A and B are shown apart, each in its own frame.
Chain A
C-alpha cells in the first residue's frame, strides 16, 4: 500500500523554465511534508518542508504547495538550472502524538536541459 505516490518517474525541462514535481498521499493523518533531492552516490539532501497548517512555503527558487483536500503537494523550481538535475523524493510524516516515521515516494528523476 503506497501511502505516498510520485506518479511521474521522470521529468525533463529546459534551463530557465519552471519545473513542477507532483506528489499524492492517501493517509489523512500525515501533517508534515518534505522534499529531498538526491544525486547519485549521495544521500538525500533536505530541500524544503511544509506543515499541514500552511498551503505554501517558499525558499529561494523552491516553493512547495499543499492542497489538503486533494491530498496533493507539488514542488516548483523557478528558474530551473542544470545543477537541479537529480532524483526528487517527497516524504510525509504525522500525525501529532505518533512517533516520527517518514514515508517516502518512489522519486522523480528531474533532468534540466541546458
Chain B
C-alpha cells in the first residue's frame, strides 16, 4: 500500500506570496491532518479534515487554510507568506477521526520563505 504522498518536497517562496501544498492520503483513509514542524516550536497541529469537513483547527492565523476533496486528497494554502512560515509541513492520514486511530505521516514539504 502506498504511503502518504506530499508534493512538492521542497519549495522556495518570497515574502508576501502565497503557496499551496498537496497531500494524497493512504488509500481508504478519510482523515487528513496537517502539522507544522519548526526548530523552535516543534510539531504543531494546523487542522484536520474528515469527509471534506474541517473537524478541528489549531492556533494559527487565518492565512493558513485547507480543504479536502471527495477523493480524500487535501491541500493547504498559506497566503501572504512571512519569514516565520518557513517550516516543514507534514500531512498525515488515518482511516477515521477517532482518537485511537493513529496518524500516518508523509515525508513533508520543506517551505523556505525568503
Contacts and interface: CB of A to CB of B under 8 A. Distances in A.
Contacts of B45: 101-103
B75 interface: no
Interface stretch (A14-22, A38-46, A71-79): A38-46
Interface in A40-98: 41-46, 49, 51, 89, 91, 93-94, 96
How many interface residues does chain A have, given as a range? 20 to 34
Contact of A41 (B44, B101, B107): B107
A4 B100 CA distance: 18
A112 B63 CA distance: 42
A96 B92 CA distance: 21
Contacts of B99: 31-32, 93-94, 96, 100
A49 B102 contact: yes
B104 A46 contact: yes
Nearest to B6: A43
A102 B103 contact: yes
B103 A101 contact: no
Nearest to B88: A43
A89 B100 contact: no
Contacts of A110: none
Contacts of B103: 34, 46, 102
Given A43-B90, A46-B102, A107-B42, A99 B107 contact: no
Closest 3 pairs between A and B when the two form their complex, measured CB to CB: A43-B105, A99-B56, A104-B43
Interface of B: 4, 33, 35, 42-45, 48, 55-56, 58, 90, 92, 97-108
